[in-house]
Amino acid sequence: MSENTTYSQFELTKEFIVGLKQIIETNNVTEARKIIADLHSADIADIYDELSLDEAKFIHLLLDEETASEVISELEDDVRDKFLKALPGEIIAENVIKNMESDDAADVIGDLCEEKKAEVLSSIEDVEQAGDIVELLNYDEDTAGGLMAKELLAVNKNLTVRACLVELRQQAEKVKNIYYIYVIDNDGKLVGTLSLKKLLLAQSSHIIFDICNTDVITVHTGEDDEDVANLMHKYNLIALPVVDGIGRLVGKITIDDVVDVIKEEAEKDYQMVSGITEDVESSDSAFKMIRARVPWLIIGLFGELIGSRVIGIFEGDIIKYATLALFMPLIAAMGGNAGVQSSSIIVQGLASGNLGIESISKKIGKEFVIASINGVLLSVIVFVFTLFFHGDIIITISISIALFMVIIFASLFGTIVPLILNRFKIDPAVATGPFITTSNDILGFLIYFYTARIIFSI
C-alpha cells in the first residue's frame, strides 16, 4: 500500500468474517482484493486471527509485498508462528523479510526453528540486510541491541551541508522513517545529531559538526529494555541512538519498539500478579497453561494449609468465643487488600522508575502513616457495626484493635517485600497477588487471635 493511503475506521464483526469466508470458499479473488484494498495492515492482522490457516494464506497472497510484511509484523506471536510454519523459507525471505526493517525482520526470524531460520537467511538476496539481521539475532531480545534497527541516516562530521545532502539522498532509499540524522566521526563514533530544520536552513558551505547538537542521549547495546523504555519516557524521545562499548553508532530504537516493550512488561506483570509463572496466551495448549498456573496454586494451597493449622492452634478460643469465627473472613480479606494495594503501588513505581529518591526508611514511614489512618477509619466502622449487632464490648474492642494491627502489618509487608526483591534483582511483581494474600492470611490470623487472647485475658 502507498504511504499516502488513508484508512477509515474498521470494525471487525462476525458478519464480516462470515462474508469473507464465503468469498474465499468460492475463490473470488476480485471481491477479496476489493474488501482488503483499503484496510490497514493492523486490521488485516486482526482478520487473520479469525480465519483458518488456509484462508489466511489465501488473503495474504493477494497483498502487495510491503503490506504483506506489515501484516506479519502486526500478528500476535502465536498466530505468526503458525502462519510462517506453513510458508517455504524462500517465500518468507522474498515476500515477508525483504520489505521489513531489520529489527522487525530479526524478531520474525528469531522465532523460527533453527532449520527454518537457516533456510530463510540463506534465501535473502540482499547480503547487507542478511548481515544486519544476523547481527541483531546475536543480541539478547530483552536488551537495547535486541530492540534496535540498523536502518538510520548517519553522516561524517567533516562533510559540508552540500555534501551531506548528497550523502543523505543515497542513504534515504533504505530508511523508511527519518527521525534524526546522526553525526559520526571517522571511526564511526557518535558525536551528535542533526535536525532536518537546521540542515535545511544552513548554508551549503557550513561544516556539519558546526551545526549539529553534541548533547546526545544514548544507550549501550546491553542496556535492559525496561531501562530503555523509562529513558525514552523520561526525556520524551521518539528515537534513541544505540552505541557499542567504544561509542560507535550501531543502531536506533524508535518509540514503536518501546510501546511493544511496555505492553509486554505490563502483560507479564499482570500475569505474575495473578499467579501465572510464564507468558501465556489464551490460544496456548492446555498443558502450557496448566504449567504456568499450577506453581502458585500449589504455593497458595500450602499457605492456606498452614493458615488452617494456625486456626487450629486457637481452636479452644474459637469454641469459647464463637463470634471470633464470624470475623475471620473480614480479617483475611482486609489484610490481603491492604497488602496488595501497597505492593501494587511500589511495583508500579519500580517499573516506571518514578519512586523518587526517598530512602527505604522514608517510604516505609510514609506507608505507616497511610496505613495508620486507614486502619483507624476502618476500625471505627467495624467497632460501630460490631457493637450495634453483637453488643459485646470485649469482642468489639478485640476485633477493632486486631483489624487496625493487621492493616498496618499488611501495608508495611506489601511495601517492604517488593523493595527487597528489587534490591536482589528479582522481579517485584511476584510480591503481589498470591504471595501477599497468602502470607497476610497466615500472619493476619496470628495477629487476630493473639490480640483476642490478650484482650480476653485482661
For residue 92, the number of C-alpha atoms closer than 13 Å in the C-beta half-sphere is 27
Mean pLDDT score across all residues of the chain = 87
Nearest residue to 86 (alpha-carbon basis) of 49, 65, 106, 60 = 60
Q: What is the DSSP secondary-structure string of 262-311?
A: HHHHHHHHHHHHTT--S---TTS-HHHHHHHHHHHHHHHHHHHHHHHHHH
Whether residues 451 and 302 share a domain: the answer is yes
Return the pLDDT at 273. Answer: 63
Q: Is the pLDDT of residue 4 over 60?
A: no
Q: What is the CATH number of the domain that holds 404?
A: 1.10.357.20
**% of the chain residues with pLDDT over 90:** 48
End residue of a domain, out of 201, 234, 254: 254
Name the amino acid, one letter, at 242. Answer: V
Q: Quote the domain boundaries for residue 90.
A: 14-139
Q: What is the CATH number of the domain that holds 120?
A: 1.25.60.10
Cα–Cα distances (Å) from 450 to 100, 161, 187, 429, 445, in that order, read 65, 80, 71, 31, 8
What mean pLDDT is predicted for residues 54-62?
Answer: 90
Q: For 75-104, write each residue's pLDDT tens digit.
A: 887 788 888 888 888 888 988 898 899 999
Q: For 338-354, write each residue's pLDDT tens digit.
A: 988 888 888 877 776 66
161 within a domain of the structure (yes/no):
yes
* Beta-carbon count within 10 A of 75 CB: 22
Q: For residue 8, what pLDDT band results from cuts at 50, 70 and 90?
A: low
- In the structure, how many helices (H) and strands (E) does the chain have? 23, 6
Whether residues 402 and 443 share a domain: the answer is yes
Whether residues 117 and 158 share a domain: the answer is no
6 within a domain of the structure (yes/no):
no
Whether residues 300 and 442 share a domain: the answer is yes
7 within a domain of the structure (yes/no):
no
Whether residues 303 and 445 share a domain: the answer is yes
Nearby residues of 197 by Cβ (< 8 Å), 6 or more positions away: none
The number of angstroms, rounded, from the C-alpha of 238 to the middle of its chain's C-alpha atoms is 18
Q: For 212-263, write each residue's pLDDT tens digit.
A: 999 999 999 999 998 999 899 889 999 999 999 999 999 999 998 888 888 7
Q: Is the pLDDT of residue 134 over 90?
A: yes
Return the pLDDT at 2. Answer: 45
Return the pLDDT at 32. Answer: 93
Q: Is the pLDDT of residue 109 over 50?
A: yes
Whether residues 374 and 444 share a domain: the answer is yes
Return the pLDDT at 295. Answer: 80
Return the pLDDT at 172. Answer: 87
Return the pLDDT at 213. Answer: 95
269 within a domain of the structure (yes/no):
no
Whether residues 167 and 128 share a domain: the answer is no
263 within a domain of the structure (yes/no):
no
Return the pLDDT at 321. Answer: 86
271 within a domain of the structure (yes/no):
no
Q: For 266-277, write each residue's pLDDT tens digit.
A: 777 666 666 666
Whether residues 311 and 426 share a domain: the answer is yes
Q: What is the CATH number of the domain that holds 184?
A: 3.10.580.10
Name the amino acid, one letter, at 316. Answer: G
Q: For residue 22, what pLDDT band results from cuts at 50, 70 and 90?
A: very high
Pairing mode, strands 181-184 and 190-194: antiparallel
Whether residues 415 and 330 share a domain: the answer is yes
425 within a domain of the structure (yes/no):
yes
Return the pLDDT at 282. Answer: 63
Q: For 375-394, write each residue's pLDDT tens digit.
A: 999 999 999 999 998 888 98
Q: For residue 439, what pLDDT band results from cuts at 50, 70 and 90?
A: confident
Q: Is the pLDDT of residue 458 over 60?
A: no
The C-alpha cell that represents 291 in the structure block: 504449567
Q: How far apart are CA 176 and CA 181, in angstroms?
A: 13
Biggest CA–CA distance in the chain, Å, is 96
Whether residues 108 and 177 share a domain: the answer is no
Q: What is the DSSP secondary-structure string of 133-160?
A: HHHHHTS-TTBHHHH-BS--EEEETT-B
357 within a domain of the structure (yes/no):
yes
H or E, element range at 181: strand 181-184
Return the pLDDT at 239. Answer: 93
Return the pLDDT at 283. Answer: 61
Q: Is the pTM of this model over 0.85?
A: no
Whether residues 332 and 416 share a domain: the answer is yes
Whether residues 297 and 446 share a domain: the answer is yes
**% of the chain residues with pLDDT over 70:** 92
Domain count, the chain: 3
The C-alpha cell that represents 67 in the structure block: 503490506
